[in-house]
Amino acid sequence: MNRGARKADVFIDDSLREGFLLRCRQAVERFGIAIHAYAIMRNHYHLLVETKREGGLCRGIRHIDASITQDINRAYDWDGPVWRGRFASALVTNDAYRQHLVAYLHLNPVRAGIATSAESASWTSHSAYLNAEKRPNWLTTEEMLADMEIGR
């Protein structure tokens, strides 16, 4: 996850959110990471990322953060850093924690008062979990869905 510098809004309009998702796709293709879930809020984002090769996480997130910084600075005639610093990360060591994180990400807009339910929230991967036709090809949901089926 990363948050805007000074907790300022970063994703001011949908074009920046769409650009963020494009950068996610690029990071998956270029840096050997898998993205299992996401939530884009006004002043921060969350990603559930799995690394497929050494160095992929840092390089992939650096690509996303640096590219979106350039997009935002260009779009709003800003200058300088957009993010408060390096992204924050936590090691996911088991399936139960990973499932918890997917739910946490998808409920983030509800907890923030932006949406009334995960289903009504925009800019999370929740709809991709409910409807495979809405899933971008770079988002990996199959493994999490299989784990959820086993856990029932």
Residues of the chain with pLDDT under 50: 150-152
| CA dihedral sign of residues 47, 131, 113, 71 | positive
**Residue-level pLDDT at 3:** 96
Q: What is the largest CA-CA distance in the chain?
A: 50
Contact 96, 128 (CB under 8 A): no
**C-alpha span between 117 and 136 (Å, rounded):** 22
Q: Please list the residues that pair with 70 across neighbouring strands.
A: none
**Residue-level pLDDT at 149:** 62
